[in-house]
Structure 1
Amino acid sequence: MGYVTKRKARRNHFDRGLANREEYSINDMLARAIVKREALPVIKKEEVNNILEFLEKWEEQLDQRANEVICTDELICECKVLFMEYAHFPLVGTIEKMGLKSQELIVYLQLIWEHINGSTEVELNSICEKLFDKSARRLRFMQDVSEGKNPLVKMNLVELEEKRFLNESEIKLSPKSLQILADNEMMSFVKLRKRDNIIEPENITQRELIFNEMEMKHLMLLNQMLEEQWLNATRERLAKKNLPVGVTVLLHGAPGTGKTESVLQVARKTGREIMKIEISQSKSMWFGESEKIIKRIFTDYRAYCKQCPSTPILLFNEADAILSRRSNNIKGAVGQTENAIQNILLEELENFEGIFMATTNLVGNLDNAFDRRFLFKIKFGKPDAEIRTRIWKQKMPSLSDEECSILARRFDFSGGEINNVVRKMEIESIIHGYEPGLDNAIDFCTQESTAQQSAAVGFKF
């Protein structure tokens, strides 16, 4: 009836004894009815109305396996039920006649889902990691595909693009499979998927960047090098000399000094999309999951590069936590996980062929191994009084040059802090219907200064 859901208990580094336990959760509607002493609700089964919803449901099942909510055998059982229930869909019926075994069926439908959403090639290892909970089964499956023994290869349903290492090999649908999609009227659904973390250059608001002479010089060089003709020429020259062809950039400095905005403006000027990763969201509390997420980020980026006319930028925003110096005195699972994440990142950057940018506030604690892997390192300092005057004038043109100079000399603000004050003045103007002047700006600046000082008081960890 859908009242209770069973799943495998997830494990973190605090609870080592939960690996083989199962946990149960009660449906929210049922819980509310019990608390309010109401009649039990009728919980309707989620309907699947078309082939896209079927494939999305299939993807959800695979994600549950990847997140260790269910095991491989449970995934196979769930997918068998799902496949039999919706065999009336033409594509499902066509695939059913192929007689594929469960694990091949899961991989094949996953490839179809990825293709429909724009990923024409997928790393074989990434699919197998999602499917198999045992490394031996995963390796055996990958070897069979690589040696042409797997039914998907024998039936000419997939093609393998082999790399130097097996775990880097990519798999894609064959022309035969693409024809099957066309015969079942699926090709009209194929599209280039824009992920939630993709920023397109045409959607970036143009802003004038105001920095000192040295900062502007570095940014102009970066802009020029990322223009398509110069980037291609640079890569060709580096490749001929057997040097790394990837562009890696570290933007470091105090908070609010324009690091992230600089990346946005470089992307806008050079017409490049940004795959933005907020590192705070990638560091999971679940033991072992963060490493998988970091690997998946680079796998997704490589796949996305093949969809874009120009190489996109992979942006690690606020990357302090994973670029910091590695610990030699590792204690506990947390320390091991932190070091494992950094080792994965170092390995990825060693052979990186795209455009990687990272912003950080704490460059003083940067691990030496990361320091060597960044081709460009651009430092952003807090603006001096002259630069602050220009920023105030740009943000508040209603103020005179002298008034902007007064604010710049009196308040040692970063560009981000000036932005905060300007936003408050705009709100003041909207609510009270008048144009705030110098006195209002000084009041808001004083509040901003007080807030910054208060934030520095208390315990520091």
Structure 2
Amino acid sequence: MEKNSKEKLLECIGKVYEKAHLSKLETSFFEEVDAELIYLSDYFGISKIQSLIIALTFVKNYKGDSLDFRDLIKYFDCNPMVLLKYSDNFNELCDKRILDKKKSRHSINLTYSNDQFTINERVTNAVLNNEPMPTIELEGSNDVLSVFENIFNLVDDCGRNELNSRYVFNQTNKLIEANLHFPLIKKIADFKLEIEDTYFYCYLIWKTLTGKEKTDIGVTAENIFDRAIDRVNYIQEIMFEENELVIRKLIEVEEARFSNDSEVKLSEISLNLLEENGLKLFAKKKK
């Protein structure tokens, strides 16, 4: 970066923010701030439209609030459909951990309507300290229990009003990769399961470790998949023993009249795997 990059970055962010007001996201706006967006893109290592998102989030955060879609629609004075064309960019910025996302509890339950965004503190620190854009990776956990807890809690990070399976699976993959120094996590990674199976398995492990021997398959699938069709397909795959977790005898199914009411639990193979890796399970009740 050139000398005084802090001042240049803040100048570009400020100009993009000011020019974006009531711009309706028209072509003329992008042409007017093209140089600034290019500069921001070069620094952050992202696209120009993502740099626009970062600029507005940056300013909004320093005004003391998070940024959401309603803010943007009002600020741009644009048709919501215009903004939704760029929605994937928000997901990409969250996947890169440049943006952090939380959920609000608005009454309208629509995709993206409850998302609230803030800039990752490491990014703002880099800008304000005149430092290069940091490489942001998930840090490894200090103990293996925290890994399973963090994976389990990904659903809560999304917020139950609007689950985002893509986010859950991407973050699960990153958490697994960041914690391969734990033999148990390395063993799970070596299974080379599909990411939804890896999450399901880790979810079930955490439930078991916290004293829940059996878990309702319907509730579990609902906590993982945001689309009903994906939930149904996944449940059917398990019930017909076509899922890798069942095929490899890592989980067992206790069937009920309706598949959604059936329960799943870790198999003896999986329970032994946990104990072999130093995880003490709750004692079984005597008959």
TM-score of Structure 1 vs Structure 2, range by shorter chain: 0.5 to 0.7
Q: Amino acid of the residue matched to residue 95 of structure 1?
A: I
Rounded to whole Å, the distance in 2 between the matches of 1:70 and 1:47 is: 25
1:159-183 superposed Cα distances (whole Å, 9 cap, x missing partner): 1011122111100001111111122
Q: Give the TM-score normalised by the residue count of structure 2.
A: 0.55
Deviation at 1:70, TM superposition (A): 5.2
1:403-436 superposed Cα distances (whole Å, 9 cap, x missing partner): xxxxxxxxxxxxxxxxxxxxxxxxxxxxxxxxxx
Distance 1:39-1:52 versus aligned 2 partners, 3 A rule: same
CA contact 1:122–1:172 (8 Å) conserved in 2: yes
Rounded to whole Å, the distance in 1 between the matches of 2:186 and 2:252 is: 22
Determine helix, strand or coil for the equivalent of 1:148. coil
1:273-309 superposed Cα distances (whole Å, 9 cap, x missing partner): xxxxxxxxxxxxxxxxxxxxxxxxxxxxxxxxxx889
Determine helix, strand or coil for the equivalent of 1:140. helix
Determine helix, strand or coil for the equivalent of 2:153. helix
CA contact 1:76–1:103 (8 Å) conserved in 2: yes
Distance 1:81-1:155 versus aligned 2 partners, 3 A rule: same
2:215 maps to which residue?
Answer: 122
Rounded to whole Å, the distance in 2 between the matches of 1:26 and 1:159 is: 42
1:134-154 superposed Cα distances (whole Å, 9 cap, x missing partner): 000001100111111111111
Deviation at 1:20, TM superposition (A): 3.0
CA contact 2:214–2:264 (8 Å) conserved in 1: yes
1:238-272 superposed Cα distances (whole Å, 9 cap, x missing partner): xxxxxxxxxxxxxxxxxxxxxxxxxxxxxxxxxxx
Gaps of 5+ in 2: 1-43, 45-95
Determine helix, strand or coil for the equivalent of 2:187. helix
Q: Amino acid of the residue matched to residue 140 of structure 1?
A: N
Q: Say yes or no: does 1:83 pair with 2:185.
A: no
Gaps of 5+ in 1: 193-306, 310-461
The structure number with the bigger radius of gyration is 1
Q: Say yes or no: does 1:20 pair with 2:99.
A: no
Determine helix, strand or coil for the equivalent of 1:99. coil
1:95 maps to which residue?
Answer: 188
1:60 maps to which residue?
Answer: 153
Matches within 5 A, 1:302-381: none
1:390 maps to which residue?
Answer: none
CA contact 1:11–1:19 (8 Å) conserved in 2: no
Q: Say yes or no: does 1:149 pair with 2:246.
A: no
Rounded to whole Å, the distance in 2 between the matches of 1:57 and 1:160 is: 25
1:6 maps to which residue?
Answer: 100
1:182 maps to which residue?
Answer: 275
CA contact 2:163–2:225 (8 Å) conserved in 1: no
Q: Say yes or no: does 1:191 pair with 2:282.
A: yes
Deviation at 1:64, TM superposition (A): 2.4
Q: How many correspondences in the alignment?
A: 186
Distance 1:171-1:24 versus aligned 2 partners, 3 A rule: same
Rounded to whole Å, the distance in 2 between the matches of 1:112 and 1:3 is: 26
Distance 1:161-1:44 versus aligned 2 partners, 3 A rule: closer
Rounded to whole Å, the distance in 2 between the matches of 1:112 and 1:182 is: 12
Deviation at 1:58, TM superposition (A): 0.9
CA contact 2:253–2:263 (8 Å) conserved in 1: yes
Determine helix, strand or coil for the equivalent of 1:143. helix
Distance 1:68-1:86 versus aligned 2 partners, 3 A rule: farther
CA contact 1:156–1:174 (8 Å) conserved in 2: yes
Determine helix, strand or coil for the equivalent of 1:110. helix
Rounded to whole Å, the distance in 1 between the matches of 2:204 and 2:227 is: 21
Identity of aligned residues (%): 25
Rounded to whole Å, the distance in 2 between the matches of 1:185 and 1:147 is: 33
Rounded to whole Å, the distance in 2 between the matches of 1:69 and 1:46 is: 26
Q: Say yes or no: does 1:132 pair with 2:225.
A: yes
CA contact 2:140–2:179 (8 Å) conserved in 1: no
Which residue of the other structure, out of 149, 157, 165, is the alignment partner of 1:72?
165
Determine helix, strand or coil for the equivalent of 1:53. helix
CA contact 2:215–2:264 (8 Å) conserved in 1: yes
Determine helix, strand or coil for the equivalent of 2:218. helix
CA contact 1:124–1:167 (8 Å) conserved in 2: yes
Distance 1:182-1:169 versus aligned 2 partners, 3 A rule: same
Q: Amino acid of the residue matched to residue 12 of structure 1?
A: H
